[in-house]
Chains A and B, each alone.
Chain A
Amino acid sequence: MQKKLTKVLVLGSGALKIGQAGEFDYSGSQALKALREEGISSVLVNPNIATIQTSEGIADKVYFQPITPHFITEIIKKERPDGIMLAWGGQTGLNVGTALYQNGVLAEYGVQVLGTSVEAIMNTEDRDLFVKELNKADLKTPVSEACETMEAAVAAARRIGYPIMIRSAYALGGLGSGVCPTEEKFKEIAESAFTFAPQVLVEESLKGWKEIEFEVIRDANDHCFTVASMENFDPLGIHTGESIVVAPTCSLTKEQVTMLQEIGVKCVRHLNIVGECNIQFAFNAQTNDYRIIEINARLSRSSALASKATGYPLAFVAAKIALGYTLDQIGEMGTPNSAYVAPSIDYMICKIPRWDLTKFAGVSRLIGSSMKSVGEIMSIGRSFEEMIQKGLRMIGQGMHGFVGNDHTKFDNLEEELQNPTDLRIFAIAQALEEGYTPERIEELTKIDVWFLNRMKHIVDLKHELQAFNSLDEISDEKMREVKAAGFSDFQIARFVLKPEGSMEKANLEVRKNRKTRGILPTVRRIETVGGEHPELTNYLYFTYLGQVEPTNADTLTTEEWKKTCLNPQDHSIEWYHNEKSVIVLGSGAYRIGSSVEFDWCSVNAINTARKLGYKSIMINYDPETVSTDYDMCDRLYFDELSLERVLDVIDLEQPKGVIVSVGGQIPNNLAMKLHRQGVPVLGTSPINIDRAENRDKFSAMLDKLGIDQPAWRALTSMDDIKEFIDQVGYPVLVRPSYVLSGAAMNVCYDDEQLERFLNMATEVSKDFPVVVSQFMQDTKEIEFDAVADKGEVVEYAISEHVEYAGVHSGDATMVFPAQNIYFSTVRQIKKIARRIAAELNISGPFNIQFLAKNREVKVIECNLRASRSFPFVSKILKRNFIETATKIMLDAPYARPEKRGFDIDRIGVKASQFSFNRLNNADPVLGVDMSSTGEVGCLGDDMNEAMLNALIATGYRLPTKKNILLSSGGAKAKVQLLEPAQQLVKKGFNIYATGGTAAFLKENGVDCTKVCWPDEEGENNVVDMIAAHTFDLIINIPKNQTKRELTNGYRIRRDAIDHNTPLMTNARLAKAFIEAVCAMDLEDIKIKSWQEYNN
């Protein structure tokens, strides 16, 4: 150990956004565990309130405050830590840490950077320094030259050699970029590139090269080795976050891997990295030529994946190294092995990204060099076929595997193959079905033919299955073969039984047939060294490539043989088979609408179960999560959350029951199916879950209880819809039956919009009627999060949205405790909730959403599961709702809160994080469909303080230039913003406004400068002003009316995002922000830890 450390500051990564998601909750938690083990006091800064790392008992002090140089400096001044850990909080943590190193704050307060030095970090982050450093060590980086004239560009291209990649510097959306095979083509593209920008980048083309990634670890004593080697399925050019990734590498020889490993180690040593890093290579397997594309001297998404893939706890070991240990001194977690062992695995994994591109208006589905995916999965198998099929089911986009996805069909196949989109893998499936050879597909996609051959095998098996007409025609051998190739019972049912109606029935028929024949999966453990040191880890997965036949097979009767096979034994696993074990279903791939908050709920359910003496069993497959970490539960099945797989686990473990209410919608949707198979579902009965989920049943129930709800009707014809709208009037909300986070929901204001949308919506769900409901404007939305015991409400939290109804609850800014609702409204809400809880006999977590206008209260929906806001209200209230809920579900005693427990002085604000800057062309406007990728939750002694903490934490900056643009849409919004505008002027802000707004403000005596709309001629064109960074806040409220205003508004909003200017599109939120800005300065925001808010 180096100098004795007593207190260490750890930087988190803030809200989840595209490119920086849950993996940093995992890595930060590991770092904090390492500190705790050493007896070092830890201070964590992370405004992401839904994370595990910010929960009780992990860090000694937690600040739910923004990770910006200002706040971190103030926290350093207050806490005086002697060390800081930068590499566990993603790019956010690293950037702020580097800034504080450069401005001297770290030196001034004697804070030592633990792990890789800041100099070394800068050498990897700054492109020029990076290239220079690696050149010194004779390591190759991609050749690139910046040119400002045509002559210089042509000369550079000749030097580098064709083909050439040309890129226009600063161009958005890849304008003026392309690969040029010849000088003629080059000149053509270069000419157009120069019209966009004064500078072009002339680079060698690495098109079609493989992308290989290593995770390398090194200690201060220069011990250094590669923990994992990963190969991108997609060739270079597709961001590694957008690519399917397999580990270990599949198409390289040992010499090639060794060669790259040597280069990697050389590079890491040269850069003097101490800890963990990720290194990305471009590799040409024909010539063995390579380029080092990038090095991340910090924990990353890939390191989280590598860690989960190999069972090697990279983040923990890196933390120990940062504290001065060398690799040989660190024990591999949970095992007596040394950490100085490169994992050698006997299975393969693949990672598949999860996209939600349909949620963003205007976004192209093409994938490429920038990241758009919002989550990922990891699947494990013993063959490529097995893991890719499993994985494609896990991403949860309605796919059943590589084949059997009837609804996906491409018209222009070659184009789909050549220009990758989020669905390209299914285009490959279609191409193989249509008889394309793997070689032809390789030509079009540059994907290694090895993978394509394996996929062809899946398609061949599908065709074999289709030739059968009953399950009995399939030999045992063939059945085993298709299961080993990853076919689910569902796929087999679809291909063989070809059912018309319920898939569930056919699916279960396959299962039954299979089980009678003794065709069952085997459970395997993930061990870092292929079976050499068993019984040391708790990671498990299922495979059909590992059937163990009993050794004395010859002497067994058929009956005995089947019995043995029905309990596939991995020597090392003893199934629990008892009343003291419980299964918790996790949340699956992070996606818009379901991410870290459900992981928090899952982990807390597991922790509670363990504390109560239960053996906890988790099923989940997202490598970013804490719930899939090595020491969270007694047993982790890193496998599918499908009916088939969950039943497999239940057959083996025979637990007391299954908890389906903490992992969000995926487990919730399984509740009824599990119930029908006689599985004990803990907590609220699935029959009642269905009564809340099913719109008709729920509505009938509300009517029976005399509870008001917005008028709605499920309708199948246009005439019926028109008739209904004649009664309730526009606007109306239109949606299909079962929904997750508002998918395919829309508000329609007139006939034209309704007709346009219905054409889309009916496509989405032709089997279900369209639900049309009255849409209430200028109405408050209120959330009721609670826990009940046998129908009696035990814990509850009432929070309100800042925005009026119409903004999805996942995007809305939430205040808890609610500040601006009538006392009588609160009483009505509590009364209604009690009645619903009693009627549905709720035992466990639930959430009800209310609308409140004047003194009327209506119910919109009710979910009998934990909601997105559970971690937020639990942490603000300092009462763990999930702990109480889990105790109730397990019939354990729990403490009821005292009445005054709900009376707190602090205020929490939950604000949403958007990733529009990652999504070219997306319209950054909020609606009934959710589009935020993450959130923060911050505290304050009053509303303004909490609001500023939260908004700064999601990327807003306080307007210091004092120039604010207002473009305030409709009349109501104009009125709403009048008072805030007056306040601003009083505070000395300069207000700029577009035509109508300027006129309105002037009429009402507010001084402002008029600016021209994007399509208007004249001085002060708003587009130029945004580009010149004139404004430090843009408020643009969409009007939703004429085409011209929509286009103009879109341009302003999009330009604001592209020029990194804070943007607000909701009048209510803008008002709240302006009030706070006028009330306090940055310096007035108190530096106050969670622990210090204690009444």
Chain B
Amino acid sequence: MRKVTLILDDGTQFHGESFGYDKPVAGEVVFNTAMMGYPESLTDPSYAGQLMALTYPLVGNYGVPAFSLEENGIPTFMESSRIWAEAIIVSDYSTEFSHWNAKESLADWLKREQVPGITGIDTRELTKVLREHGVMMGKIVFDDEPENIPYANYSGVNFVDKVSCKEIIRYNEGAEKKVVLVDCGVKANILRCLLKRGVEVIRVPWNYDFNELEFDGLFLANGPGDPDTCEDAVVNIRKFLANPVVRPCMGICMGNQLLSKAAGATIYKLKYGHRSHNQPVRMIGTNKCFITSQNHGYAVDDETLSADWEPLFVNMNDNSNEGIRHKVNPWFSAQFHPEAASGPVDTEFLFDDFVKLL
């Protein structure tokens, strides 16, 4: 295995070995404290442009399942058709794997998809550094090719455009209720959660003006990067909200941020985002609390919401916004991932609420 060095923007270095595809790479370094679920995380489009470090030390134990598509074109086990993270950073890669459903090792998969993976990194220490300095850009350099320095930007880059579908895709055509889903980088499990509830899903590119379509409800999906680069989507959402025919709307993650922007709020970057399976949130005004799966680096400043809107969920650790709703109309969104995949499924009922409103 070739020696590599992970260099953070503040000069901190970590030495490790390459176990994935051998290629220098740069991106925003983020940490994820979930203990399992690497196939889902790697294929989650929200990780586009990021080097994903896992704090749990053992990775690769159960290999990777075969990539297959269901009849409706949605992947069986993964969250999208490819790995979106720029690289994966682990402490102790498990070369031997054991699981009946595994088709190949994590290393083979990374190589096939040409994504670097590095091991032997003290991810606990890396997490500490990121906590103190906040998220940083970083690069993985091969020690035997010190001249080959990769470069990348994260802020201001429109990753949504890179991961969104390019054309309209329809699922479960002909169902009674039709939902337009704005694809900012949708996870397959959001599609599964909607389809399971018997609706037709019209998946449109992130900047497509869906207002011209015929539909019963609007769904704003998750996606990577900075919501401020998605102004086109916000304009379309505002048009939808201004329509005299009121139709339900639900958003997740990036969807929460876009809906908030449409509702007049501003977005700010968290020091080091929420990326784990155990974020506690409270439904405001109730004593209902949920443990949620999260993956976001930006948050809504709910003080800046216009008067018709109010916060719906709050994070119990840092009190940041976790969702909003309109005071009158059936429009709401969540910053966390009710579809999980992976993570706790406490909040899947939000999909039920949405479909009932249609």
Contact = CB atoms under 8 A, between A and B. Distances in A.
- Whether A and B are associated in the same complex: the answer reads yes
Nearest to B62: A253
The dominant DSSP class at the A interface is: loop
A524 B124 contact: yes
Contacts of B291: 225, 340-342
B122 interface: yes
Contact of A530 (B94, B99, B124): B124
Interface string B128-139: 100110000000
B342 interface: yes
Nearest to A286: B100
A454 B122 CA distance: 20
A455 to B, nearest CB: 11
A161 to B, nearest CB: 21
Interface stretch (A184-192, A257-265, A272-280): A257-265
A281 B220 CA distance: 38
Contacts of B36: 248-249, 252-254, 257
A250 B317 CA distance: 29
Contacts of A248: 35-36, 56
Contact of B342 (A254, A448, A553): A254
Interface stretch (B198-206, B226-234, B272-280, B349-357): B272-280
Given A225-B291, A344-B277, A448 B33 contact: no
Nearest to B277: A344
A548 B277 CA distance: 27
B337 to A, nearest CB: 13
A10 B126 CA distance: 45
Contacts of A327: 289
Contacts of A532: 33, 127, 131, 276
Nearest to A550: B13
Contacts of B289: 223, 326-328, 340
A529 B276 CA distance: 9
Contacts of A1050: none
Interface string A333-362: 000011011111111100000000000000
A223 B281 CA distance: 12
B317 A254 contact: no
B193 interface: no
B280 A344 contact: no
B99 A253 contact: yes
Interface string A308-326: 0000000000000000001
B295 interface: no
A551 interface: yes
Nearest to B10: A551
Contacts of B124: 346, 524, 530-531, 546
Contact of A255 (B125, B282, B342, B346): B342
A11 to B, nearest CB: 31
A261 B55 CA distance: 21
B148 interface: no
Contact of B57 (A225, A262, A348, A552): A348
B122 A341 contact: no
B132 to A, nearest CB: 8
A547 B276 CA distance: 25
A347 B34 CA distance: 12
Interface in B55-83: 55-58, 61-62, 65, 77
Nearest to A221: B287
Contact of B128 (A251, A382, A534): A534
Contacts of A344: 33-35, 55-56, 276-278
B247 interface: no
A326 B287 contact: yes
A253 B101 contact: yes
A546 B14 CA distance: 11
A262 B33 contact: no
A384 interface: yes
A454 B11 CA distance: 35
B96 A529 contact: no
B15 interface: yes
B92 A383 contact: yes
B144 to A, nearest CB: 16
A328 B98 contact: no
Contacts of A337: 317
Nearest to A259: B345
Interface in A568-593: 571-572
B150 interface: no
B301 to A, nearest CB: 22
B101 to A, nearest CB: 7
B56 A530 contact: yes
Interface string A519-537: 0001010000111101000
B344 interface: yes
A231 to B, nearest CB: 11
B126 to A, nearest CB: 9
B69 to A, nearest CB: 17
Nearest to B99: A253
Contacts of A341: 278-280, 291, 316-317
A326 B35 CA distance: 26
A346 B277 contact: no
B55 A531 contact: yes
B125 to A, nearest CB: 5
A229 B31 CA distance: 22
Contacts of A328: 280, 282, 287, 289, 316
Contacts of B101: 253
A549 interface: yes
A170 interface: no
Given A250-B58, A258-B342, A551 B98 contact: no
Interface in A448-487: 448-450, 453-454
Interface in A383-427: 383-384
A129 interface: no
B257 interface: no
A545 interface: yes
A225 B289 CA distance: 11
A262 B58 contact: no
The 3 closest A-B pairs by CB, nearest first: A254-B37, A450-B98, A530-B55
27 contacts: A223-B288, A248-B36, A252-B36, A253-B65, A254-B34, A254-B36, A258-B342, A341-B291, A341-B317, A344-B276, A344-B278, A345-B56, A346-B91, A347-B57, A383-B57, A383-B92, A449-B96, A524-B124, A529-B33, A530-B127, A531-B33, A531-B128, A545-B122, A546-B122, A546-B125, A549-B15, A551-B12
Interface of A: 221, 223, 225, 248-255, 257-258, 261-262, 285-286, 326-328, 337-338, 340-348, 382-384, 448-450, 453-454, 522, 524, 529-532, 534, 545-549, 551-553, 571-572
Given A223-B288, A346-B56, A454-B96, 11 more contacts: A223-B289, A253-B65, A328-B280, A344-B34, A346-B33, A346-B91, A382-B92, A449-B96, A450-B97, A545-B92, A551-B12
